[in-house]
Amino acid sequence: METQKRTPWRRWIVLVLMIVGWILAGMYAPVRPEITVAAEKLIEEPLTENFLGFAGPLYLVNTLPTLAVTIVLLVVIAFATNRSLVKSQKSDLVPSGIGNAMEAILEMLYDLTESSAGAKWAKAIFPWFATIMIYVLFANLLKLVPGFESVGVIHHAHGEGHAIAEMSGSWARILPGEGEYILAPFFRGISVDLNFTLTLAVISFVMIQVIGVRSQGMGYFSKFFNTKRMFKVPFFGAMDFLVGLLEIISEFAKILSFTFRLFGNMFAGVVLVAVVASLLGNVSILSAMIMMFELFVGLIQAFVFGMLTMVFMAMATQGHGDEEHAEH
């Protein structure tokens, strides 16, 4: 039986893209962007001088537009999913398209929650787990869209800067040479903003305590302030009390862990892509491979953040010490 030889056309597409990337990189030499931990200001004047009456001036930084775009995309996807599911209910009860995809993803996440936290508390934990995970996933992947962190407003540099070349209208581009200008991009990934990761960490921390109180009542706090055996068995009672103090430190350490794990991994990816792209020059294929690695890291970090939230919530529902023995 004669077999038809397959034409490796995909290889030619990759080769053509490599050549085009080489030509474009030669015409427009890549410039390493300004790497800063804090979000850059798009305009120098604050939007308000005293935000909320006590928080000081509020500036339009480049993570706020990204935050707005992320929320809009999630609302659009939720609307499209709901419309798909409603349409399937009126026909053959079989969802299709985006409704089918989102149903499969959420069903998988719910099964994962139920297997970890049990059927009793899965309905209470799942909304927080799924919401945080999907939101962080969008926040991580949105910064991989072309144009993010590369198109923005040109400001005068307060230190080292780059030269610029005038283009049509009010447009200009940054040149590799030394100058007095820097670029503040319109959009910057919100996962590399400590305000975003800290806010998510505080929300996770607070809801872990809420789930713990809902499941065990005020007895949940006995693991932090354990004085039941203080007067009956003084030595072991004192040890229990000290262990409770360590539990308090460990609980608040979750905020730092959540915050800097997500921020550190995503910020390191930004630095890695910027440095490699500026060092390689015309060789654009390796920079593209690093972007694929960033895609993988974004997926993993969203899953880790959501999973840790879900696991800590599941642990908060479990009794401990005397409460656990009484329950069983």
For 150-180, write each residue's pLDDT tens digit: 788 887 777 777 778 777 777 787 777 777 8
What is the reported pLDDT for 229? 66
Average pLDDT over residues 42-50: 80
Instruction: Say yes or no to pLDDT of 243 above 50.
Output: yes
What is the reported pLDDT for 116? 85
The alpha carbon of 54 is separated from its chain's Cα centroid by a whole number of angstroms, namely 28
pLDDT grade for 323, boundaries at 50, 70 and 90 = very low
What is the reported pLDDT for 230? 64
What is the reported pLDDT for 204? 92
The residue with tokens 């409603």 is 86
Instruction: Say yes or no to pLDDT of 250 above 70.
Output: yes
- Find which of 14-23, 48-57, 86-95, 133-142 is predicted with most confidence, using mean pLDDT: 133-142
pLDDT grade for 327, boundaries at 50, 70 and 90 = very low
pTM of the model: 0.80
Instruction: Say yes or no to pLDDT of 206 above 90.
Output: yes
What is the reported pLDDT for 274? 73
Query: How far apart are the C-alpha atoms of 147 and 54, rounded to whole Å?
Result: 35
What is the reported pLDDT for 203? 93
Per the structure block, which two tokens stand in for 85?
């599911």
Residue 222 backbone dihedrals phi, psi, to 5 degrees: -65, -20
Average pLDDT over residues 35-47: 80
Radius of gyration of the chain (CA): 26
Give the three-state DSSP class for 297: helix
DSSP per residue, 233-245: SHHHHHHHHHHHH
How large a percentage of the chain has pLDDT more than 90?
14
What is the reported pLDDT for 324? 44
The dihedral of CA 128, 133, 136, 141: what is its sign?
Answer: negative
Using the CB atoms, write b or e for 53-71: b if 16+ within 10 Å: eeeeeebebbbbbbbebbe
Per the structure block, which two tokens stand in for 169?
């209208």
pLDDT grade for 79, boundaries at 50, 70 and 90 = very high
Query: What are the domain boundaries of the chain?
Result: 62-151+186-327
pLDDT grade for 235, boundaries at 50, 70 and 90 = low
Please name which of 306, 313, 308 lies closest in space to residue 139, comparing C-alpha atoms. Answer: 306
Query: How far apart are the C-alpha atoms of 172 and 161, rounded to whole Å?
Result: 15
Q: Which helix (H) or strand (E) holds 156?
A: strand 152-166
Instruction: Say yes or no to pLDDT of 23 above 80.
Output: no
Residues 6+ apart with CB under 8 A from 200: 132, 135, 136, 258, 259, 262, 305
Residue range 93-133, pLDDT digits in tens: 676 778 888 888 889 999 999 988 888 888 999 999 999 99
78-82, 279-283, 303-307: segment of lowest average pLDDT:
279-283
pLDDT grade for 3, boundaries at 50, 70 and 90 = low
Mean pLDDT of the chain: 80
What is the reported pLDDT for 201? 93
In contact, 204 and 125? CB cutoff 8 Å: no
Residues 6+ apart with CB under 8 A from 219: 323
